[in-house]
């Protein structure tokens, strides 16, 4: 089976974080499946189905934490499998996969726009807002509020070790929003002057816990202590249906060389460096989750999951799409 090179390029870009952020990762995965549906050379519908499943496997194994990735792949694959089982010929099967990928991408972009609208209502004139990492959903809330004429300033963490906060700060500054960049460990120092924290999510669990970039939970703790509102901006495809069944979300642990350079590691072989990419913020520290369906308290996560993923437990998906992927170097919490 020779899958198109573009599929492997997308998978590699996700793995190496050239494509990053849960929403972008999901949209890239959907487009990867559409490419396979369009370009995989065969006249046999069974072979095309196997190629799609193999591509799905390649994509979900790239990064383990962003639940948007398996959710996007499931959305696209499920419609393909349904068409296959309904007797679709090869052209119809290709079309089913392509249109469901297009639908996912379209819905995903619309969801971010709605979140921007709903979230912007929570930003007030004169606010000082803190954000962490680079989340398209969180940034879109801030950009929308600014566009509506609200005037506020943003404190953006730099976000060690990959400095995604620099992307956030640059986007906000380009839009004319006053931005102050701080080191991650200064979050509590500034918290007393902050009015609201807005972050994105890689996954939302059934109990309302939010998995996001490492450091998010410490910021939430500081916000809780200082009685500062803590908002999460998350499309519903970041909610994890597996957590309804008690599965824990896998936390990606990345290369220590992202934290300290290889020379240092070689000079100090007895120092162990760990690099978890995400952490879990408990629901008690979260005031609201802003979704495209509306604003919910974290306790409403189960309701969203039932509505959006009621099909999950009874679907005809293959096993590898029904449980969390488990590549090497990951820890479960």
By the criterion CB under 6 A, which residues form the site for ligand RUB? Answer: 20-24, 66, 133, 135-138, 164, 200-202, 212-213, 277
Distance CA 64, CA 81 (A): 23
Q: How far is CA 6 from CA 32, 55, 59, 159, 188, in A?
A: 7, 11, 12, 30, 44
Told to judge if 174 belongs to the known catalytic residues of this protein, a careful annotator would answer no
Q: How far apart are CA 256 and CA 247, in angstroms?
A: 27
Nearer to ligand RUB, 111 or 317 (CB): 111
Catalytic one of 127, 133, 184, 287: 133
**Structural contact between residues 208 and 283, judged by C-beta atoms closer than 8 angstroms:** yes
Nearer to ligand RUB, 21 or 70 (CB): 21
CB of 14 to ligand RUB, least distance (A): 9
Lateral strand order in the sheet of 210-213: 203-204, 210-213, 278-281
Rounded to a whole number of angstroms, the minimum distance from the CB of residue 83 to ligand RUB is 28
Q: Which is catalytic among the residues 13, 127, 195, 202?
A: 202
List, in sequence order, every beta strand (DSSP E) within the chain.
128-131, 153-157, 179-182, 196-199, 203-204, 210-213, 229-233, 250-252, 278-281, 288-291, 294-296, 330-332
Q: Nearer Cβ to ligand RUB, position 65 or 100?
A: 65
Q: Smaller CB distance to ligand RUB: residue 96 or 277?
A: 277
Q: Are 7 and 31 in contact (CB under 8 A)?
A: no
Shortest distance, position 25 Cβ to ligand RUB, whole Å: 7
Q: How far does Cα 55 stand from its chain's mean position?
A: 20
What's the CA dihedral at 17, 19, 22, 26 to 10 degrees?
-130
Name the residue nearer to ligand RUB (CB basis): 242 or 253: 253
User: Pairing relation of β-strands 179-182 and 153-157?
Assistant: parallel
Active site residue 202: yes
Smallest gap from Cβ 200 to ligand RUB, in A, equals 3
Considering the complex, what minimum distance in angstroms separates the CB of residue 65 from ligand RUB?
A: 8
Residues with catalytic roles: 133, 202
């Amino acid at each position: 089976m020779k899958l198109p090179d573009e599929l492997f390029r997308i998978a590699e870009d996700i793995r190496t974080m050239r494509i990053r952020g849960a929403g972008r990762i999901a949209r890239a995965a959907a487009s990867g499946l559409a490419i396979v549906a369009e370009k995989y050379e065969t006249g046999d519908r069974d072979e095309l189905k196997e190629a799609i499943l193999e591509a799905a496997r390649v994509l979900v194994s790239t990064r383990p934490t962003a639940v948007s990735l398996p959710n996007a792949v499931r959305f696209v694959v499920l419609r393909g499998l349904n068409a296959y089982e309904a007797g679709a010929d090869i052209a119809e099967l290709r079309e089913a996969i392509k249109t469901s990928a297009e639908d996912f991408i379209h819905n995903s972009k619309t969801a971010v726009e709605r979140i921007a609208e709903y979230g912007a209502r929570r930003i007030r004139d004169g606010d000082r807002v803190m954000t962490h990492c680079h989340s398209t959903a969180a940034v879109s809330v801030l950009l929308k509020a600014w566009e509506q004429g609200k005037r506020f300033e943003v404190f953006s963490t730099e976000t060690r070790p990959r400095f995604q906060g620099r992307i956030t700060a640059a986007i906000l500054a380009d839009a004319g929003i006053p931005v102050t960049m701080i080191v991650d460990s200064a979050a509590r120092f500034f918290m007393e002057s902050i009015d609201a924290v807005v972050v994105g999510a890689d996954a939302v669990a059934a109990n309302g816990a939010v998995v996001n970039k490492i450091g998010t939970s410490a910021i939430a703790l500081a916000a809780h202590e200082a009685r500062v509102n803590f908002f999460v901006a998350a499309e519903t495809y970041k909610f994890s249906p597996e957590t309804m069944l008690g599965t824990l979300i896998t936390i990606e642990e990345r290369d220590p060389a992202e934290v300290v350079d290889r020379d240092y590691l070689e000079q100090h072989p007895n120092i162990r460096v760990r690099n978890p990419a995400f952490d879990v913020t408990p629901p008690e520290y979260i005031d609201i989750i802003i979704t495209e369906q509306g604003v919910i308290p974290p306790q409403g996560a189960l309701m969203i999951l039932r509505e959006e993923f009621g099909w999950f437990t009874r679907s005809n998906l293959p096993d590898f799409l029904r449980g969390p992927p488990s590549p090497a170097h990951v820890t479960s919490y």
